[in-house]
Amino acid sequence: MTDTPLLKVNDVSKFYGSRIGCRNVSFELWPGEVLAIVGESGSGKTTLLSCLSTRLMPSSGIVEYHMRDGQYRDLARMGEAERRFLMRTDWGFVHQNPADGLRMTVSAGANVGERLMAVGDRHYGNIRATAADWLARVEIDEDRIDDQPRAFSGGMRQRLQIARNLVTSPRLVFMDEPTGGLDVSVQARLLDLVRGLVHDLGLSAIIVTHDLAVARLLSHRMMVMKDGLVIEQGLTDRVLDDPREPYTQLLVSSILQV
């Protein structure tokens, strides 16, 4: 286990006018660690994810990322071009709605290949072969490589979005309700897939979800948010088996048993 965090978050707050998005959030994310952010709608979890992934600029606080060259960089002080390069190569972002993360009118193969071209790959044959390999890894038949995602089911689109994000071997992946719009059987397949890939690739991930079962299955560590604040955090097992805060107890006790 390495001894430097991948991401250092220090006292991050985001205000929308006088309304609080998230407030005074601090934590560190370590290589290979999967962190789940849970809480009900409006608790600030997506705002926090956006602040961490530079999709939103925090009102105050610092987010630092451990670059491949070993230096920590303050994300807010990075140039736009550099930040975009980071997002396209070393990071992934899996949206709840695959249409937000895919280009719906180009082929599945091109959706995956595009990220490879962004890191300088130019050999068509190699790009196509890698794309085909990744489609297989996310369980999409190779004969669908030239189809557009418009023609895919919701579950397939989500798996394609994951392939597109992981093809450049990112070190950090953000996921916003990755199983949100999927029916249960499709969800199970996707969860199993994500779990396997995270393990095999040694990825770090930050997953926003309101589904505690998803958090239990995928994450090592968990933060519970309410009204923009992190009210409880710790080992996922501990937070779910022995919730301490009133709101966390309410969340855990509200799960339906099957």
Binding site for other proteins (CB under 8 A): 1, 30, 33, 188-189, 191-192, 195, 199, 217, 220-221, 234-235, 237-238, 241-242, 244-246, 249-250, 253
Rounded to an integer, what distance in angstroms lies between the CA atom of residue 179 and that of residue 208? 10
Write down the least CB distance from residue 221 to other proteins, Å. 5
Name which of 86, 69, 68 is nearest 77 in CA terms.
86
Write down the least CB distance from residue 3 to other proteins, Å. 10
Nearer to other proteins by C-beta: 1 or 81? 1
Nearer to other proteins by C-beta: 119 or 235? 235
Write down the least CB distance from residue 139 to other proteins, Å. 11
Q: At what angle do helices 124-137 and 108-118 cross, to 10 degrees?
A: 120
Rounded to an integer, what distance in angstroms lies between the CA atom of residue 222 and that of residue 36? 5
Tokens 């071209």 correspond to what residue? Answer: 117
Nearer to other proteins by C-beta: 153 or 249? 249
Nearer to other proteins by C-beta: 168 or 204? 204
Write down the least CB distance from residue 195 to other proteins, Å. 7
Write down the least CB distance from residue 156 to other proteins, Å. 17
Nearer to other proteins by C-beta: 36 or 145? 36
Write down the least CB distance from residue 243 to other proteins, Å. 9
Q: Are 225 and 39 in contact (CB under 8 A)?
A: yes
Partners of 77 in beta bridges: none
Counting every residue written for the chain, the total comes to: 258
Nearer to other proteins by C-beta: 164 or 221? 221
Nearer to other proteins by C-beta: 141 or 245? 245
Write down the least CB distance from residue 18 to other proteins, Å. 30
